[in-house]
Amino acid sequence: MSDDKEERQWIASMEGREIAVSNQQLDAFRQFYLEKEISSRVSDLIILDMCVLNMISGIAPQEVLASMKSLEEDELSGNTKAATQFKNSPLKGLWHKHYFSARFVPRNIRLALGKTD
């Protein structure tokens, strides 16, 4: 991101919490976690989502990025649902992909067993 970009305060809500992130914080997050090659192709909103997931739920950005990389490299990912392409506007042509995080395994097992606690 260039220095002449207007300063923006991003506000995100998750799990009843509101998180404010500045452009400067978002840029620092992007530079720390994303390789330069993929950074230019990832929107600020996806970076914000990864930042908020990390801050609130402790989900490492690498978990999300690994799924993105496997999708780009057309690799089969055996630990998540297969990627599907959106068919309707405005997302037509983009892909929906799950990511794996070990923190979800116990909850997913409970849900598979019909327990919804």
The model's confidence at residue 76, banded by pLDDT at 50, 70 and 90, is low
- The pLDDT assigned to 2 comes to 47
Cα 113 from Cα 50, distance rounded (Å): 29
- Output the average pLDDT for the chain: 86
Pairing of the two strands 95-96 and 84-85: antiparallel
Give the three-state DSSP class for 6.
coil
Return the percentage of the chain with pLDDT > 70, whole number.
91
DSSP 81-117: PPPEE--STTTTT-EE-----GGGHHHHHHHHTT---
pLDDT in tens, 11-61: 999 888 999 999 999 999 999 999 888 888 889 999 999 999 999 989 999
Do the Cβ atoms of 29 and 39 come closer than 8 Å? no
Cα 98 from Cα 27, distance rounded (Å): 25
Write the single-letter amino acid at 16: G
The model's confidence at residue 74, banded by pLDDT at 50, 70 and 90, is confident
* Domain assignments of the chain as residue spans, ordered by start: 1-58, 60-117
pTM: 0.76
Asked if the model's pLDDT at residue 89 lies above 90, the reply is: yes
Listed residue (56, 55, 53, 64) closest to 101, CA to CA? 64
Give the three-state DSSP class for 18.
strand
Write the single-letter amino acid at 23: N
Element holding 48 (H helix, E strand): helix 44-57
- The pLDDT assigned to 1 comes to 45
The model's confidence at residue 5, banded by pLDDT at 50, 70 and 90, is low
